[in-house]
Structure 1
Amino acid sequence: MKKLFCLGLIALVFSASSAFAAKKKVLDAKIDQAIEDFYEHTTAGKRLAEDAAGMLVFPSVGKAGFGIGGEYGEGALFVKGKRVDYYSTASASIGFQIGVQSRSQVILFLEKSALNKFRSSEGWEVGVDGSVAIANIGAGGEIDSKTLNEPVVAFVFGSKGLMYNLSLEGSKITKIKKD
């Protein structure tokens, strides 16, 4: 029974990806709000974003798990302040995890070569096609200086819900078309 529940949960998360796929106009509004929230969350992150080669914004990544888990979200890539493409992020996992969570993610490509590698891939997998450092924000909203030396840095914020297990490792990011 537990296995059936877990398989059903995974199927629900991934089937929801197409059923709940946001319309372009709605997604754009959510992305704009997420960027505003990100800039309010950390002024150092805002300064870093302004200098980054690219910024990938996922306003809402939903994750659910009970032993077996999955997550999905849609967002957009910005280059030089302009929205250039839309992407989805998805992953599945097995292991100790329980709960449901929704969070926002901003991934900054600090080096042009990392951005070019990301954009030229058919599907970019975190930890396989590129390493992503999760930013540690200290007192006063400052970012750990060790993180600033990485070519790709992620910020996770606005978590709603409770989930034990935070990692972007294994997330597959794929270009999508939006109407």
Structure 2
Amino acid sequence: MAGWNPEAKESAEKQDKENIGVAEVIANFKNSDPGMQVFFDKAQGYAIFPTVGKGAIGIGGAFGRGEVYEQENLVGKATLTQVTVGFQLGGQAYSEIIFFKDKAAIDRFKKGRFELGAQVSAVAVTAGVSADAAYNNGVAIFTITKGGLMYEAAVGGQKFSYTPIGQVKKESKPAPVEDKSN
């Protein structure tokens, strides 16, 4: 079988699984607040972390893996890490999206010059909340809880790493997910 490469098939299947998770998270954000569509439509790009796990007993930490899209094309992978100190207790899982307003903002992220300071907070997505949300220093951050209970849920102190994956065709955009709310 000339030209057959089992590794390419395995890689494509893995990519499809990751995109399916991303598509589901995007649908969850949009179903929770239809106004989120404006951010997807107008942003230069976004980083999406389908699951961020966070836990703490005094000292806390968080970790998540995600994908980075620019003009709706998958351009890279990212990791999110966070270490926090202070009064905090519990554990939770949540999804996070960071929208980049313009090319300068997403370029800062891709060059590793992006870190969320202690004063930065995210908007917890509920119906209508996106109408009042605004960009701060070229970024807007939204989270949606997946489960768990934790006293302290700040995104400040998050650090990110970015790994480009090269030029990706338009087809790598997350597949649309049917609206199951009806």
Q: Which has the higher helix share?
A: 1
1:59 paired residue number = 50
SS of aligned partner of 1:125: coil
**Cα contact 2:109–2:162 (8 A) shared by 1:** no
- The two structures, once aligned, show a CA RMSD in angstroms of 2.4
1:135 paired residue number = 123
Pick from 126, 132, 135 the counterpart of residue 144 of structure 1: 132
**Cα contact 2:77–2:164 (8 A) shared by 1:** yes
Distance 1:62 1:40 in 2: 22
Letter of the structure 1 residue corresponding to residue 122 of structure 2: I
Check if 1:44 corresponds to 2:35. Answer: yes
**Cα contact 1:132–1:152 (8 A) shared by 2:** no
What is the TM-score of this pair, normalised by structure 1? 0.74
Gaps of 5+ in 2: 1-13, 166-182
Check if 1:157 corresponds to 2:147. Answer: no
Aligned ranges 1:18-167 → 2 under 5 Å: 24-121=15-112, 124-127=114-117, 134-135=122-123, 140-144=128-132, 147-148=134-135, 151-167=138-154
Gaps of 5+ in 1: 1-22
Letter of the structure 1 residue corresponding to residue 158 of structure 2: S
Distance 2:93 2:126 in 1: 23
**Cα contact 1:53–1:112 (8 A) shared by 2:** yes
Letter of the structure 1 residue corresponding to residue 150 of structure 2: M
Deviation at 1:137, TM superposition (A): 5.7
**Cα contact 2:124–2:144 (8 A) shared by 1:** no
Larger radius of gyration: 2
Task: State the aligned residue count.
Answer: 152
**Cα contact 1:90–1:173 (8 A) shared by 2:** yes
What is the TM-score of this pair, normalised by structure 2? 0.73
SS of aligned partner of 1:124: coil
Deviation at 1:168, TM superposition (A): 1.2
Over 3 Å counting, the alpha-carbon distance change for 1:159 and 1:47 in structure 2 is same
Letter of the structure 2 residue corresponding to residue 89 of structure 1: L
Greater relative contact order (Cα < 8 A, sep 6+): 2
Distance 1:72 1:108 in 2: 19
Deviation at 1:116, TM superposition (A): 1.5
Pick from 155, 162, 166 the counterpart of residue 175 of structure 1: 162
